[in-house]
Structure formats: structure tokens, C-alpha cells
Structure 1
């Protein structure tokens, strides 16, 4: 624990919830008994860090988060190892990225040491909620909302930083089995100079219409093309995306409209560690389809905290279907998934120093 943990007050719940069966968790349906809250006000900074029973928020109807969307969030996970330790995966990277999002949305910077202390303390309090069944974890959602009750269009002078946690299973019903992807040709998600590389709510709200239409056509997610030319591949749903073509793995370059994925970075580093060629560059959708037609497109998969690795078995672009790897999970996708989840759960050695153990005093 960091020394900042001594600043955090703890009010324990007197009404603990019944834990759901671990084979029926779904994603983001159930929540632990406690939450972390910290306030911000101009002149005082971040203050009053506290762990309290999980409960609804009370906000003024004029709170700026409702009107101008000044909010950001993160997503990470805690895992239980076979020998009953608790591990986090690159948690400081999540809070560093959170501060990049804060900067883009004019939200005050968080002290990362304090955020880490809060996270560790909250996990220690609710450690019994961490599931142990294979494929499960404790999903952690830190977020910041603007709470000042004024309607002027300007950055808020008051905020809350909150962390909630949820025991989860697979993000997609398909699990590690391939998903079907619809390529969006009408709407756009983001453009360079916008807020696309920030984890802010509006980016996800604007994606819902396309996602809903894709699901109505039998597709799990949407592949976004660039906002200027509708030509270059960007992200798939809320994930970064990778393609193995002719033995080389390609992923879209970070051009300012794509999220700096922590799982993305982990995959790149893992592939390079294995000696597999990786290129970060702009990749056109017609180039990808040509690789599919001539047989050089071997695998495709999305990456993100929620799903870790999600293989792609089929794509549909302007009515032309492209089957990837006979619609089956590729060998590389499976190896990356097994290795990353193995590192996260302690079953595989971590040569990168990515995992961090949560110390539970007096267990």
C-alpha cells in the first residue's frame, strides 16, 4: 500500500449483497458492496477521499456533466491467482491515460499515487467479490464527472472522482470464438483533433446508432473507418484492431482519433518479444479486402480490457462479406489471448513487469 491510503476514510456497508453465481456474471451487471469517491473544487483541489457503501449519486439537475458531457472514464481488471493472490494489470498506465483524457476534456489532473492507493484499498475492502472461475475477473471502472450546477458553457469548478467495481465474465457472448463485424460506411466515430483518443462518454454515445444497426443485421460490432476519407481502418467497436497479413501483423497507427489502448500496446510488445513482425500504419479497407481475396489475410482480432482478445471471423463492407481464417479462431489470436490472460492471472510468467500485486493486510 502507498502511504496515501492512510488519508482514505472507510465506511463499511452494513447490508452486504448476495454474490451471483460465477458462471452467470455477464458483463457489468452486478456491483460490489463499496465504492470510492473523492471531490474536487477550485482552490481546494482534490479532497475528502472516502470508501462508502455502493449507492446512487445525488446530483443537481444543472450539473455540467448532464449538459456538456464533461466526463471521462477508464477500465481495468483485478484477477485472483491460483494461489489466492490478487493481481492488477498495468494499473498505473490506466491512470496515466486517464490524465491524458482529463487534459483533453479540461478536467483537473489526478494524483496517480492517490488514485492507486484508493484502488488498492477498495479492492482490499471488497476482495471477496473477485471471482476465481476461469475467464472471470473483477472489472474496475474509475470515472470523473463535472458536478458544478451552472449552465454556462465553461469547464466545471467542481468534480467527483469515483471508482466502482463489478465481477464479470466474458464481454462478448462468443467469448474467444470469432465475432462478425460490420464495416461502417456512413457515420464516423472521430477525427484527428477531436476527442477520439480520449475515453469520454460522448465518443461511445455517438457510436451506438451504428452498433444497433449492425446488431439488427446479425453483427456483433462495428469497424470504424477514418472520418475524413472513409478509407482507413481505425477501431472496431470499443477496441483496437489487428490484422495478420502475409506473416506480418498490422494495426492502425495512432493518428489522434484512435484510443491509446493498453491492451493494444501489450499485444505489440508481446508480438515483438516473440519475433513476429508488427507494423503500425494507416491501413485502407480496400487493401484489407484485397488481402482477403488473394488469401494473404490470415487472422484478425480486436483488443481491449473488457474482452482482452476478440477474434474476427467475418466482415461485411458495402454488402461484400469477407470470411477470415475460415471463420475460426486463429493460432496467433489464441496464443496472444492465452499468454495475456495467463500473465494477468499469474499462470504465465510476466517478463515485462506488467502485473502488480495488491497487498491485503490482515487477510
Structure 2
């Protein structure tokens, strides 16, 4: 469920993060017997329109963000150390639109079955809106794929668009991926703006968030004057 306030103007917003920390005096790794829950509220600027699109770096060879048996699927503070050393997008979901070998367009994102990726509300919203509005023309896929597959698609000219989806910077077009000394340049829209599919998903979700359109899973809370 997406819950959003009805703002007087769009653009800026409040980032609301419920947080819980263990407060038991202890040494070692164990489940705490006492904890404190508090809420962090931060005013956020516009972060989803960097000039020329977002440029990503893949993880270096001596670092990994998440692993099978770990907690990449959960919203834990420990997830942010290795991801932010690379780039903020390490804490988001990455989508790529490419042409498959059969010629059909495919929007692909990593799956949730091995608990490497978090089931984030922005990720889920992008998938639901893509299936609703684009499913007749584009294959929407959740499956494992690797940077090697992205490099291969780039060498064959099959990459059409890419974007990152997260809480803090919403939906942001990706223009480049740097991987071990090699740059993969992903296409952008006219004048280095959003690609066609990225724009459709972002515009639709923007309208839901700012109550310009209604969906059954969207709940609008009117803002008090």
C-alpha cells in the first residue's frame, strides 16, 4: 500500500523512516532484550533529475553489497555501509529495458526469491504500473541476470533504457554504468531526459503520489491547513 500526503505543491517531500535499535548493554552478536523505536523525519530536496542522468559504478572485486543467506532483503542499517561506498543507487532497485534475442522489448529487474533484493514499495509500484500500462507491448520479467549480460546486450546495441528506483530519489534515469574500467552508456530520451518507458512509469507513479489519479492501493491523507 502506498500512503502519501496531499501536498500543496509537488517536488519537495518529507522522508519518514521508522527506526529501531537495540539498547541492551552487551558484547557479542545476539538478539537484544530491550530496544528503542523512534521516527526520523527529514526534509528532502529534488534528487531524481541529475544533469545527464545517473552514473553508476558496479561493486569492486573486493566488495559485495548482498549475498545469499544475508539480509539484502531487509531494511537494516548494515546494508548501507558497503552500498554507499560505491554509490547511493546501491540502496535501490535497478531496472533495464532491452531487446531480447527474439526482438521483443523486455523490462527486467532482479527477483526476490533468494532474498538478495528488498521487496521495496517503489520497486513493487513500478512493476504493477508497468504491467498495467505496458504489459501488452513489453515483457515484464523478474529474474536473475548479470553484469555480463548487460555488457553483451550493450555490445549488440540491444539496451534501450535503464533506471534506478528507490525511496530517496524516486525514479532516476541511468545514463552510464562503469564496470571494472569499462563504461556502458545506456540511452536517454531527447535532450538527455527520461526514456519513453521510464517516463511513462515515473509520470504514472508521480500522479498517484500527488493524488492526481487514484488506484485501489493508493490511500490519500489530506494535508491540514
Moved beyond 6 Å, runs of 4+: none
C-alpha RMSD of the superposition: 2.3
The number of residue pairs the alignment matches comes to 211
Contact 1:267/1:336 (8 A) holds in 2:
yes
How do 1:125-164 residues align onto structure 2 when only pairs under 5 Å count?
132-151=8-27, 153-164=29-40
Q: 1:210 to 1:306 in 2, by over 3 A?
A: closer
- For the residue of structure 1 that corresponds to 2:91, the secondary structure is coil
- State the TM-score, normalized to the length of structure 1: 0.54
2:57 aligns to what?
Answer: 182
Q: Tell me, which stretches of 5 or more residues in structure 1 are unaligned?
A: 1-75, 82-131, 212-220, 222-235
Given that residues 77 and 137 in structure 1 are in contact (C-alpha distance below 8 angstroms), is that contact kept between their aligned partners in structure 2? no
Name the counterpart of 1:259.
118
Is contact 1:271-1:277 (8 Å) kept? no
In structure 2, what is the equivalent of residue 355 of structure 1?
A: 219
Supply the distance in 1 between the matched residues of 2:82 and 2:147 (Cα, whole angstroms). 22
Cα-to-partner distance string for 1:7-60 (whole Å, 9 max, x where unaligned): xxxxxxxxxxxxxxxxxxxxxxxxxxxxxxxxxxxxxxxxxxxxxxxxxxxxxx
Counterpart in 2 of 1:322?
184
Question: Counterparts of 1:152 and 1:142 in 2: how far apart (Å)?
Answer: 25
Show the 5 A alignment for 1:1-363: 78-81=4-7, 132-151=8-27, 153-171=29-47, 174=50, 178-186=53-61, 187-211=63-87, 221=88, 236-246=89-99, 247-254=105-112, 255-274=114-133, 275=135, 276-326=138-188, 328=192, 329-347=194-212, 349-357=213-221
Q: Aligned to 1:336, what secondary structure does the other structure show?
A: helix
Structure 2: runs of 5 or more not aligned: 100-104
Structure 1 residues 278 and 77, CA gap change in structure 2 (3 angstroms): same
- The Cα of 1:150 is off from its aligned counterpart by 3.1
Structure possessing the higher relative contact order (Cα contacts under 8 Å, 6 or more residues apart): 2
TM-score (norm 2): 0.84
Partners of 1:303 and 1:280 in 2: CA distance? 15
Change beyond 3 A, Cα 1:239–1:166: same
